[in-house]
Amino acid sequence: MASWRFTAITPAGTLVRGVTEAGSEAEAVAFIRRQGNMPMEAVPVGGGGGRLLRAGAGMELRLRRTGLKRAEVAAITRELAVMLGAGQDLDRALRFLLETAPGPRARSVLEGLRAEVRDGSTLHAALGRRPDSFPRLYVGLVRAAEAGGNLGSTLERIATLMERERALVATLQSAMIYPTLLVVAAIGSIWLLLTRVLPQFVPLFEQNGAALPRSTRVLIALGDFLGAWGLWALLLLALAGFGLWRSLRRPAVRLAADRLLLRPPVLGPLMREVLAARFTRTLGTLLGNGVPLIGAMAIVRDVIGNRAVLATLDRATDDAKAGVGLARSFERERIFPARTVHLLRLGEETAQLGAMALRAAEIHEEAVRLRSQRLVALLVPMITILMGAAVAGIVSSLLLAMLSLNDLAQ
């Protein structure tokens, strides 16, 4: 028998730590589960042990920039779930993944995983030693699945969660590509007109001594300023952006900015749909893997990222501890769309909160796709009209100046 130091979350959502005597890590985990708690970490006293899921900050599926990419982890998880679902053992599944690895980085990670598993290590312990590739929530869910004997189905849920998260981000990124290109093209065109085209006419105007229209004089002065100080202006804007980014690290400023982000007429509803999709998808996945509601809420709050929503989740967690349903709390806060509240209420009434949360996530993800399309449909003509108006204004000023030269010649 050895001593194991453990960390767990009680059904009430509180963090507990202790020491137990057990012959192996699996026995220690079983002891924690018999107490009705969710095991988060179990390491031998005086020893190392695997890097397991810890309660608190950082329980998220967002990967760091080093290690495997998010897409690679999602693909590996999906293929591993398929192999285990087909009845293959873990060693053969890892060997298959190793043989079909898309690149040297994935092959190196899979080689290490398979070697450790063949040496007797559990999969979650092997994953936990690679935090740059496999985040702690991922490791914790695998750990719970190994203890419960449902590794294949859990990996299926994790893969779905990561794929939907990637699809959500890809939807937003794809929607903003075309408007961004239009903005860059508009700024570049106006910059060239003011700094390269317009100065070509200035000597002609000066030689003839014509009285230029005020709009033309303003544009010439603006072109001279951009030609002389344009790079410094860009540097100043970059410094201002950096200062804004630094200020957002202050909790009060970040909270105000996050609240402001949810208010604009078009962007606000889109951000609410994105946050609702992220919340319900993660909550449904955790509940489907047997995580208690209070413990799931403690984990979900670390994948949201919006301080205004985090405050709402904290109040909802307190209400849940007091016996008040999530739907009633969210209805009072009015931070999520109405459909989120209705579906969560239905899930609570039918004791299918996890399944209804996943269903709500699908609806919100589709809403994000539709709202993104509408946003692009609104932004593209607006940018095009503004760009055309700016170019037309510059050309009109040049034409007015040329007409003044003709009047002078007559």
Average pLDDT over residues 169-191: 86
In the numeric block, which tokens belong to residue 273? 């749909």
Residue among 171, 179, 174, 156 at smallest CA distance from 366: 171
Contacts of 339 (CB under 8 A, 6+ apart): 360, 363, 364
Query: Positive or negative, the Cα torsion across 65, 71, 77, 80?
Result: negative
Over the stretch 45-87, which tens digit does the pLDDT of each residue have?
764 444 333 333 333 343 333 478 888 888 888 888 888 888 8
Q: Tokens 């329980």 map to which residue?
A: 59
- Mean pLDDT of the residues in the chain: 81
pLDDT band at residue 410 under the 50/70/90 scheme: low
- Decide if pLDDT at 142 tops 60: yes
Residue 18, beta-bridge partner list: 6
pLDDT band at residue 15 under the 50/70/90 scheme: low
- How far, in Å, CA of 393 to CA of 216, rounded? 10
Angle at 85 between CA 80 and CA 86, to 5 degrees: 100
User: Phi and psi of 203, rounded to 5°?
Assistant: -60, -35
- Decide if pLDDT at 407 tops 60: no
Query: Cα dist. 262→247, 255, 270 in Å?
Result: 19, 11, 8
Lowest-pLDDT range of 37-51, 132-146, 167-181: 37-51
Report the chain's C-alpha Rg in angstroms: 29
- How far, in Å, CA of 361 to CA of 277, rounded? 5
The predicted pLDDT at position 56 comes to 35
Query: Which residue type, as a one-letter code, is found at position 62?
Result: R
Q: Name the more confident of 282 and 209.
A: 282
The predicted pLDDT at position 346 comes to 92
Within a 10 A sphere around the Cβ of 403, how many other Cβ atoms?
12
The predicted pLDDT at position 57 comes to 34
